[in-house]
Amino acid sequence: MTGPVKVSVIYYSATGTITELARTLAAEAEKAGAEVRLRKVAELAPDEANPRWRANLDATQDIPQAVADDVVWADAVLLGTPTRWGNVSAPLKHFIETLAGPGLRGELQDKAFSGFTASSSTHGGQESTLLALYNTVHHIGGIVVAPGYTDPAKYADGNPYGTSHVTAQGKNPVGDVTRAAAAVQAKRIVLVAGALRDGLARG
């Protein structure tokens, strides 16, 4: 090993659910021995769009805003977004598009990437959101490390593409099933990213 695996957890959250998932994934990655950066991307919507969005911004002032170096620095990147019509939210997509320079220079390739999401309804586009997110990973030469059904906890969570949660319009807080799924995802990406990094270093 050449030191702890470096993990960046980068996310957009409108009302706080994705923030909670991001904090859980960051904590689980640290438990797995990683050095972790927890970062949020900038809100693009005006304050009047939704008062709950403004409240979430105020509640997460302690979390730094993501910059390109947070991705370049990392061996593994966990990207979080709520579903937006079955797709990646505009703020996270905007951040990803700012990575064109490092991507074209090859500074993002051969890193491990995985995603997490949430939706209001059970069939709210969670899987399509994660698959859309992974399209970008393929383009930059990253390695998708989905959790898969690699642990019994994932059968309870039911999403092999990444950690996901159904909020039921805010009536269903993040609970033990989702947190257990997040632990599986975090441990898996730390393990795979370390093996990938060290294997590449050996040539």
What is the crossing angle of helices 17-31 and 176-202, to 10°?
Answer: 50
Q: Check whether 195 has a pLDDT greater than 90.
A: yes
Q: Check whether 175 has a pLDDT greater than 80.
A: yes
For the segment 31-45, the average pLDDT, to the nearest whole number, is: 94
- The Cβ-side half-sphere exposure at 113, using a 13 Å CA radius, reads 25
Q: Is residue 33 part of a domain?
A: yes
For the segment 22-31, the average pLDDT, to the nearest whole number, is: 98
Instruction: State residue 1's pLDDT score.
Output: 52
Q: Is residue 102 part of a domain?
A: yes
Q: Is residue 73 part of a domain?
A: yes
How far apart are the C-alpha atoms of 132 and 129, rounded to whole Å? 5
pTM for the full predicted model: 0.95
Q: Is residue 49 part of a domain?
A: yes
Structural domain count, the chain = 1
- Strand-pairing partners, residue 113, are 77, 144
Task: Answer for the pair 131, 161: CB distance below 8 angstroms, yes or no.
Answer: yes
Q: What is the pLDDT of residues 124-145, one digit of tens each?
A: 999 999 999 999 999 999 999 9
Q: Is residue 150 part of a domain?
A: yes
Instruction: State residue 49's pLDDT score.
Output: 67
For the segment 1-11, the average pLDDT, to the nearest whole number, is: 91
How far apart are the C-alpha atoms of 183 and 138, rounded to whole Å? 24
How far apart are the C-alpha atoms of 188 and 73, rounded to whole Å? 19
Q: Is residue 95 part of a domain?
A: yes
- Strand-pairing partners, residue 36, are 7
For the chain, the maximum distance between any two Cα atoms, rounded to a whole number of angstroms, is 53
Q: Check whether 82 has a pLDDT greater than 90.
A: yes
Instruction: State residue 43's pLDDT score.
Output: 86
Q: Is residue 50 part of a domain?
A: yes
Instruction: State residue 87's pLDDT score.
Output: 95
Q: Check whether 40 has a pLDDT greater than 70.
A: yes
How far apart are the C-alpha atoms of 192 and 156, rounded to whole Å? 23
Instruction: State residue 189's pLDDT score.
Output: 98
Q: Which residue has the tokens 């009302």?
A: 15
Q: How far apart are the first and last CA of the chain?
A: 14
Pairing of strands 87-88, 76-84: antiparallel
Mean pLDDT score of the chain: 93
**Full domain range(s) for residue 187:** 6-202
CATH number at residue 82: 3.40.50.360
Q: Is residue 1 part of a domain?
A: no
